């Protein structure tokens, strides 16, 4: 069964909106784990409008499952993760100021840069993952830059789900089989929710981890955090 890593960016966004420390991101992370989450994710962006760079070390102190830090590999981001040594770093090719992530890496054009960054992270004992679209050539590129895992950008799957879920999942299922043949670990995330998650997981038997934030935190407003985490875990069975 894939691990559920809860992305706390939206909790941090609420915290930051009043300049005080509530909701307390660290407390929420510990509670998510107590409620059954198998990982905690944050994605600090250069403007730190939600997760901040100083959240990384603070989370590293308390997270007992798996800490996954996502982000664009600026020198500032790299110095933070190399110092804190989370379990996993997921590299995302976001432009500064981007509203949210909307595409994966061009692993062919950016091969040299990715290779250098990935080996710096791996030398510190950090598992690497790179955000990627489901495409064979890009997966070949991912293997050649030496990443441990890839994270499929699932925005297009979520968008296409209601119209034709078989067509929406097909490229991901195919890419997942190919990634497994290449020996790459497989994660996925972006816009996964209670409605589309179980079909996705069923069609990707090699899926190791999903990171889910926006929909999960929204659902928690209605069901509470503990119930919501249980609902997501059920979808992954």
Ligand X SMILES: CC(=O)[C@@H](O)[C@H](O)COP(=O)(O)O
For residues 44-61, one letter each, b for 16 or more C-beta atoms within 10 angstroms of the residue's C-beta and e for the rest, the string is bbbeeebbbbebbeebbe
Question: What is the C-alpha to C-alpha distance for residues 124 and 82, in angstroms, rounded to an integer?
Answer: 7
Among 176, 211, 220, 225, binds ligand LD2JLWAY (CB under 6 A): 211
In the chain, helix, strand, coil percent, each to 5? Answer: 45, 15, 35
- Cα distance between residue 20 and residue 18, in whole Å: 5
Tokens for 101, please give them.
């992530």
Query: In terms of CB distance, is 84 or 91 closer to ligand LD2JLWAY?
Result: 91
The residue within the footprint of ligand X, chosen from 3, 8, 9, 121 (CB under 6 A), is 9
According to the binding rule CB under 6 A, does residue 191 interact with ligand LD2JLWAY? yes
70 is catalytic: yes
Name the active-site residue from 33, 70, 151, 209: 70
Q: How far is the CB of 101 from ligand LD2JLWAY (least distance, A)?
A: 7
C-alpha–C-alpha distance, residues 185 and 176, integer Å? 9
Q: Does 50 belong to an annotated binding site?
A: yes
The helix/strand/coil state of 228 is: helix
Residues 21-80, interacting with ligand LD2JLWAY (CB under 6 A): 41, 43, 70
94: left (phi over 0), alpha (psi -120 to 50) or beta: beta
Q: Is residue 195 annotated as involved in ligand binding?
A: no
With CB under 6 A as the rule, give the number of residues binding ligand X: 13
**Span near ligand X by CB under 6 A; candidates 3-11, 24-32, 107-115, 169-177:** 3-11
Per the residue annotation, which of 33, 43, 66, 151 is the catalytic one? Answer: 43
Q: Which is nearer to ligand LD2JLWAY, 181 or 208 (CB)?
A: 208
Query: How many Å from the N-terminal Cα to the C-terminal Cα in the chain?
Result: 6
* Residue number with CB closer to ligand LD2JLWAY (44 or 141): 44
Site for ligand LD2JLWAY contains 107 (CB under 6 A): no
- 34 dihedral zone (left: phi>0; alpha: psi -120 to 50; beta): alpha
Residues binding ligand LD2JLWAY: number (CB under 6 A): 14
- Residues labelled as active-site residues: 43, 70, 190
Binding-site positions for 3-amino-2-oxopropyl phosphate: 7, 18, 191, 213-214
């Amino acid at each position: 069964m894939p691990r559920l890593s809860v992305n706390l960016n939206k909790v941090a966004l609420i915290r930051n909106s009043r300049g005080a420390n509530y909701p307390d991101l660290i407390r929420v992370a510990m509670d998510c784990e107590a409620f059954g989450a198998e990982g905690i994710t944050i994605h600090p962006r250069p403007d730190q409008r939600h997760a901040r760079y100083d959240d990384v070390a603070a989370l590293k102190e308390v997270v007992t499952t798996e800490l996954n830090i996502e982000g664009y590999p600026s020198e500032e981001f790299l110095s933070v993760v190399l110092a804190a040594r989370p379990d996993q770093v997921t590299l995302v090719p976001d432009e500064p100021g981007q509203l949210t992530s909307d595409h994966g890496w061009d692993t062919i054009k950016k091969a040299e840069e990715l290779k250098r960054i990935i080996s710096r992270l791996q030398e510190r004992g950090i598992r690497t993952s790179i955000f990627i679209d489901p495409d064979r050539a890009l997966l070949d590129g991912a293997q050649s830059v030496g990443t441990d895992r890839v994270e499929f950008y699932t925005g297009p799957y979520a968008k296409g789900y209601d119209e034709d879920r078989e067509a929406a999942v097909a490229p991901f299922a195919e890419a997942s089989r190919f990634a497994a043949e290449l020996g790459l670990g497989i994660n996925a995330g972006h816009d996964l929710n209670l409605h589309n998650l179980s079909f996705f997981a069923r069609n990707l038997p090699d899926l190791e981890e999903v990171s889910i934030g926006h929909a999960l935190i929204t659902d928690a407003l209605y069901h509470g955090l503990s119930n919501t985490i249980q609902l997501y875990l059920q979808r992954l069975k």
